[in-house]
Amino acid sequence: MRLRRDFRELLAHDLRRLDDDAVWSEPIVRAVVDGDLRGRLRGAWARRSELLEALDRVPLTLCHLDSFRGNLFSTTKPSGDAETVAVDWSYVGIGPLGTDLSQLVIASIFYHGDDHDVRRLESACLPSYLAGLRESGWRGSASDVHTGYALAGAVRFLFVLGVLRAAPSAEYRARAERWGGTPYETQLALNVKRTEHLLGLAEPFLRNGT
């Protein structure tokens, strides 16, 4: 499954931030990061197999696998009806229900760096995703969609800690600001907020062992 491959590749780049004391002891990080965030991440990492196994139990479907808003365009048909067009189908494949929904909600925010209310975006997108499935003839359980959404998002993005790499270096922080177009502290605070949200999606499955 592509999500497992993405998980391994991302960890190769980002997981070392979790064990780098120099990063977490930086005053700029300590001022933004809640004291138990690192411990919660370590706990999720220690039980990562449970997240992957739970995701494996979600029914599969055809997925775009890169459906963040940079690849989605709103157009109008000749009839005047609105239509959403997806581009860049290079990753298309089979994945758990809810995977494309997690890309739409979570990847859109991660990649674009906007301080959107993720819960408000979820509440708008989840019912529409379910409605689309029903219109296509799918009669499965909505709980599978919620599970797939939560776990696909957590597996794909929970350990994306790259912004922390810049914390110990003024040079790297300046690069991050040039690339992101916002102060480093703003980028760090947004990353922390997203990570806490993803932990909130993942941890119920770890507590319940399901």
The domain tally of the chain equals: 1
| pTM for this entry | 0.85
Per-residue pLDDT tens digits for 170-183: 898 898 889 878 88
pLDDT in tens, 186-200: 888 888 888 899 999
pLDDT tens digits, residue range 24-36?
999 989 998 877 8
Question: Can you give the pLDDT at residue 61?
Answer: 92
Chain segment 68-100, per-residue pLDDT in tens: 888 999 999 899 898 889 999 998 999 999 999
Range of the domain at 92: 2-208
Beta bridge partners of 74: 84
pLDDT reported for residue 142: 95
Residues 139, 143, 145: CA angle, nearest 5 degrees = 75
Ranges assigned E (strand) in 10-164: 60-63, 72-76, 82-86, 93-96
User: Mind listing the pLDDT tens digit for each residue in 134-147?
Assistant: 999 999 999 999 99
Instruction: Decide if 103 contacts 67 (C-beta within 8 A).
Output: yes
> Is the pLDDT higher at 71 or at 164?
71
For residue 22, name the pLDDT band (cuts at 50, 70, 90).
confident
Structure tokens at 42: 């370590």
Helices (H), 15-137: 21-24, 27-30, 37-46, 48-56, 99-102, 108-112, 118-135
Q: What is the CATH number of the domain that holds 159?
A: 3.90.1200
Mean pLDDT throughout 113-121?
75
pLDDT band at 2 (very low <50, low <70, confident <90, very high): low
